[in-house]
């Protein structure tokens, strides 16, 4: 294209393929496209391009496929918060399943606690298992310094454990203070942290896509068996059922792969509070009369409500200025 040099193209393309974009949008979008491909109207031989002429003839479907990858990936990225809620067990779980699975997690904690309480052993294998149990217990939230399961999944307990840390250590609400502390983190460090966090986000999104794909293929196979639809993935009922099982297994494996990265993210989260909490220390220093001063100023600038001088009782005094009658400053800013 005239006027567009190779260097200009690189500068425009490179920011689009940064690691967070790859993990949070492109890879989940590509996997979702593979899941949906049997149901899409694309030509079956569009990927069997061998010559430039064939590529020229098939560029439109390929462009549409690339656009679909990006759109699906963007949609999955938007749903990232809901995916976390589901995997943590905070939403969308039936009450009985929630209670049963949380009890299972608690039984796991009890087993690990018993292994930890055994003390050192002369058998290196037993000692290694005890060390691993202690490491896993660190990921759970605590009550009176005793680990317990507050969520029905290990991921939910990992997140609950490190979100509890700022309150236990400093009395700081992680939900309220983290956003304010994050605003004080240096831009280059934000990029490094976000790159690390995007790996866990990406694997969890991939897991959700694979799980959803398994249920979709299972539903398609069942509906095809009852003649409700005539299009089944992989063209055969038995193969589609096997493919559905494969998607579900892949989803579970991707979930398990994401857990060490979430644990690593938790350590980074804790470190942010340890190293940057002093940046928001000024929030705790509310001076005498400051609240009244801000409220008074807001009422004046928003509604033009003037003040009454507390010394002489004169009305119509704007905030922050000396009284026209006695000279006292009414609700001065600090």
DSSP 165-187: HHHHHHS--HHHHHHHHHTTS-H
Q: Could you read off the pLDDT of 273-288 as tens digits, one per residue?
A: 999 999 999 888 888 8
Percentages of the chain per state (helix, strand, coil), in multiples of 5: 70, 5, 25
Mean pLDDT of the chain: 83
Share of the chain above pLDDT 70, in %: 78
Specify the 3-state DSSP secondary structure of 261: helix
Pairing verdict, β 146-147 and 307-308: unpaired
Q: Could you read off the pLDDT of 249-260 as tens digits, one per residue?
A: 999 999 999 999
Q: How far apart are CA 184 and CA 273, in angstroms?
A: 11
Q: Could you read off the pLDDT of 8-66 as tens digits, one per residue?
A: 433 443 344 457 899 999 999 999 999 988 877 765 555 555 555 655 566 677 788 88
Contact 133, 119 (CB under 8 A): no
> What is the pTM assigned to this prediction?
0.80
**Residue spans of beta strands (DSSP E) within 117-271:** 142-143, 146-147
Which two structure tokens, joined as six digits, stand for 265? 């993210």
Name the DSSP class of 316: E
| pLDDT given at position 20 | 87
Please choose, from the candidates 270, 267, 277, 281, the residue with its C-alpha nearest in 3D space to the C-alpha of residue 181. Answer: 277
| pLDDT given at position 288 | 81
């Amino acid at each position: 294209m005239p006027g567009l040099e190779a260097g200009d193209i690189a500068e425009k393309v490179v920011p689009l393929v940064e690691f967070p974009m790859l993990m949070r949008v492109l890879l989940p979008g590509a996997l979702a496209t593979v899941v949906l491909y049997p149901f899409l109207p694309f030509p079956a031989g569009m990927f069997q391009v061998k010559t430039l002429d064939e590529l020229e003839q098939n560029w439109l479907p390929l462009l549409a496929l690339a656009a679909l990858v990006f759109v699906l990936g963007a949609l999955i990225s938007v749903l990232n918060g809901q995916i976390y809620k589901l995997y943590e067990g905070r939403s969308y779980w039936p009450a009985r399943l929630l209670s049963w699975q949380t009890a299972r997690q608690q039984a796991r904690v009890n087993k690990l606690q018993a292994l930890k309480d055994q003390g050192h052993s002369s058998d290196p294998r037993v000692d290694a298992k005890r060390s691993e149990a202690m490491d896993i217990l660190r990921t759970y939230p605590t009550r009176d310094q005793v680990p317990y399961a507050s969520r029905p999944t290990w991921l939910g307990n990992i997140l609950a454990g490190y979100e509890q840390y700022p309150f236990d250590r400093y009395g700081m609400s992680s939900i309220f203070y983290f956003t304010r502390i994050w605003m004080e983190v240096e831009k280059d460090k934000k990029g490094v942290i976000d790159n690390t966090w995007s790996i866990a986000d990406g694997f969890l999104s991939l897991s959700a896509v694979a799980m959803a794909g398994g249920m979709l293929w299972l539903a398609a196979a069942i509906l095809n068996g009852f003649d409700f639809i005539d299009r089944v993935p992989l063209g055969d009922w038995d193969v589609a059922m096997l493919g559905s099982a494969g998607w579900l297994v892949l989803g579970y494996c991707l979930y398990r792969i994401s857990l060490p990265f979430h644990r690593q993210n938790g350590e980074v989260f804790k470190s942010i509070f340890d190293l940057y909490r002093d940046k928001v220390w000024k929030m705790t220093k509310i001076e005498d009369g400051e609240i009244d001063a801000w409220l008074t100023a807001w009422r004046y600038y928003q509604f033009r409500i003037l003040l009454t001088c507390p010394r002489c009782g004169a009305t119509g005094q704007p905030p922050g200025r000396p009284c026209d009658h006695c000279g006292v400053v009414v609700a001065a800013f600090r």
